[in-house]
């Protein structure tokens, strides 16, 4: 029996359903509900403290009364 045009159309639609589902699940990208945070505080503090070592050394030498031994 030959399929009518209508039947063929229905069949095609039927096959398209699972295909769509698979594709949909593959490429779905959900936007995160929170903004993406990258915490650089630790590194920044480390760099600042390292940069200040020489200053700190001088501060100690120039204020011996504040740094009793």
Partner 1 sequence: MTRKTLFLTAALGTLAAGFILSGPARAQASVAQALSAGAAGEQSDGYLGVTGSASPAVRAEVEAINIKRRAAYTDLAAKRGVTVADVAAATGCQTLASRVKPGQVYRIGTGPWQTKGNDPIALPAYCATAGQ
- Which residues contact partner 1 by CB under 8 A? 42, 45-46, 48-50, 52-53, 55-57, 59-60, 63, 65-69
Whole-number minimum distance, CB 37 to partner 1, in Å? Answer: 21
Which lies closer to partner 1 via its Cβ, residue 20 or residue 52? 52
Question: Could you give the CA distance from residue 39 to residue 46 in angstroms, rounded to a whole number?
Answer: 13
- Nearest approach in angstroms of CB 30 to partner 1 is 37
Q: Tell the smallest beta-carbon distance from residue 53 to partner 1 (Å).
A: 5
């Amino acid at each position: 029996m030959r399929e009518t045009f209508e039947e063929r159309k229905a069949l095609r639609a039927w096959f398209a359903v699972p295909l769509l589902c698979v594709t949909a699940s593959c490429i779905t990208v959900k936007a995160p509900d929170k903004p993406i945070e990258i915490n650089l505080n630790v590194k920044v503090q480390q760099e600042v403290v390292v940069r200040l070592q020489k200053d700190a050394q001088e501060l100690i030498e120039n204020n011996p009364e504040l740094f009793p031994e």
